[in-house]
Amino acid sequence: MNLARAINIADLRLAAKRRLPRILFDWIDGGAGDEAALAQSLAQFAAARLMPRYLLDVSKLSLAKTLFGRTYDVPFGVAPVGLAGMFWSGGEIAMAEAARRANAPFILSGTSIASIEEAAKIAPEHVWHQLYPSRDIAVSRDIIARAGAASAQALVVTVDLPVQAKRERDIRNGFALPIRYDARLILDGLLHPAWSLQWLANGGMPRMGNWAPYAGEGASPTKIAEFSRAQSFSPQTWDHLDQYRKWWGGKLVVKGLQHPDDAKRALAAGCDGIIISNHGGRQFDRGPTPLDSLPAIKDAVGDKMAVMLDGGVRRGADIAVALASGADFVFCGRAILYGVAAAGLPGATRAFDILRDELSRTMGQIGRVKIEELDKDALAR
Ligand SMILES: Cc1cc2nc3c(=O)[nH]c(=O)nc-3n(C[C@H](O)[C@H](O)[C@H](O)COP(=O)(O)O)c2cc1C
């Protein structure tokens, strides 16, 4: 595809839609239930207003932001998105490389195709690892040790999946792991030959690198995917988090909390940060949006831990809104994944470029030359 013609994230989304079979595109694009949480997260950003300030020198503008002692060139990174390597062969590697070039953090999903070792080789200073706790806690312990050995910069424990979400597009499409190249997908694939050719050339369902070592000697990619599915939705309590804190010596982040008391408890448990998230509207359709949850959490934990946010970011201006509303850092899931699914590394890079450019222009309009200058006064009421 001609990426120069993708001038915003919506264009990358359409390009991903054109390239992917529907069953896969819907899995990325959709949400739980009525998709109201997803729609509201987007609508809330779109409706947020920033106050322009003029006659200020904005010629030297920096988007740099320091987080956990490291200075990134942009105040946003890549949220963990599962199975990226199924949409584009080497999808996670492309995201890791794009993040390294952008000097931004990349959170590798626990259900990635590339392993933590492979991703860390590409972007040793930018990769964080996300843990989906497994039913067999020995597996979680080993994955945490591997993330440590691979020098992951932070461990992100995602907690908002106590049960499986009801995602109706997936139910209707029959989405399930492992992906089988059945009659339905063959038909869909015929309409999306670029994806199909890559999928078939790579031998179909790829190997899920983080789970592979535990699925048995010589387990096939299909068996590995079945193993990962069987280990999912492991019931978790605060005791588990205490356990992970003991096993992980580095920066520990909890992803998916929205209640201020939960944030306080995570702080008390020794966590270094939280990512306020509604999982991009994919888990709980009746929950609040991340922007709704931010003020009370910020009041509850102040600057004692990093308060980050994801969900619904499609524009650079959305990032400015989240930061002005009190977030210390922002993560983008679909915005980057659409780029990868459309065009691999150039697509991921394009997504970064679009968001960076839009954020710069926004900063210029509101007369802020540093990310630290984004505060509540930047919001128009
Ligand atoms: C296709 C897809 C897969 C995802 N997989 C994971 C995952 O493996 N682990 C996780 O913690 N969150 C996962 N998420 C949630 C994202 O990390 C993030 O919370 C969400 O995408 C933010 O919303 P946004 O897509 O509007 O940016 C996934 C989201 C999408 C869209």
9-23 pLDDT, tens per residue?
999 999 999 999 999
Distance between Cα 285 and ligand 1 center (Å): 14
CA angle 65, 367, 60 (to 5 degrees): 60
Tell me if 343 CB under 6 Å of ligand 1: no
Per cent of the chain over pLDDT 90 is 96
Which protein residue's CA is at the shortest distance from atom 19 of ligand 1?
Answer: 279
Tell me if 28 CB under 6 Å of ligand 1: yes
Closest atom of ligand 1 to CA, residue 280? 23
Does position 119 have pLDDT exceeding 90, yes or no? yes
pLDDT score for 238: 98
Average pLDDT estimate for 176-189 = 88
Distance between Cα 217 and ligand 1 center (Å): 30
Amino acid at 378: A
Distance between Cα 105 and ligand 1 center (Å): 15
242-290 pLDDT per residue, tens? 999 999 999 999 999 999 999 999 999 999 999 999 999 999 999 999 9
Give the span between the Cα atoms of 147 and 350, in whole angstroms.
28
Give the span between the Cα atoms of 199 and 254, in whole angstroms.
34
**67-95 b/e with 16+ CB inside 10 Å = b?**
bbeeebebbbbbbbbbbbbbbbbbbbbbb
Closest atom of ligand 1 to CA, residue 332? 27
Q: Are 12 and 347 in contact (CB under 8 A)?
A: yes
Average pLDDT estimate for 24-36 = 98
Give the span between the Cα atoms of 278 and 290, in whole angstroms.
6
In the chain, what are the domains? 3-378 (3.20.20.70)
Tell me if 129 CB under 6 Å of ligand 1: no
Closest atom of ligand 1 to CA, residue 158? 11
Per cent of the chain over pLDDT 70 is 100
pLDDT score for 73: 98
Which protein residue's CA is at the shortest distance from atom 20 of ligand 1?
Answer: 280
pTM for the structure as a whole:
0.98
Q: Report, in angstroms and rounded to the nearest whole number, the Rg of the chain calculated over CA atoms.
A: 20
Which protein residue's CA is at the shortest distance from atom 13 of ligand 1?
Answer: 81
pLDDT score for 108: 98
Which protein residue's CA is at the shortest distance from atom 1 of ligand 1?
Answer: 28
What is the band of 180 on the pLDDT scale with cuts at 50, 70, 90?
confident
pLDDT score for 291: 98
Return the beta strands (E) in the chain as ranges: 65-67, 70-72, 76-78, 106-108, 127-131, 154-158, 251-255, 273-277, 306-310, 329-332
Give the span between the Cα atoms of 261 and 208, in whole angstroms.
35
Whole-Å CA distances, 101 to 12, 77, 94, 246: 19, 12, 11, 33
The H-assigned helical ranges of 248-289 are 260-268
Tell me if 312 CB under 6 Å of ligand 1: yes
**129 catalytic per annotation:** no
Tell me if 313 CB under 6 Å of ligand 1: yes
Tell me if 167 CB under 6 Å of ligand 1: no
pLDDT score for 295: 98
pLDDT score for 246: 98
Closest atom of ligand 1 to CA, residue 80? 17
DSSP at 184: H
- Locate 94 and state its tokens: 């492309």
| Beta-bridge partners for 310 | 277, 331
Q: Which helix (H) or strand (E) holds 145?
A: helix 137-149
Does position 312 have pLDDT exceeding 80, yes or no? yes
End-to-end CA distance of the chain: 41
Query: What average pLDDT is seen over the chain?
Result: 97
Tell me if 116 CB under 6 Å of ligand 1: no
Tell me if 77 CB under 6 Å of ligand 1: no
Closest atom of ligand 1 to CA, residue 281? 23
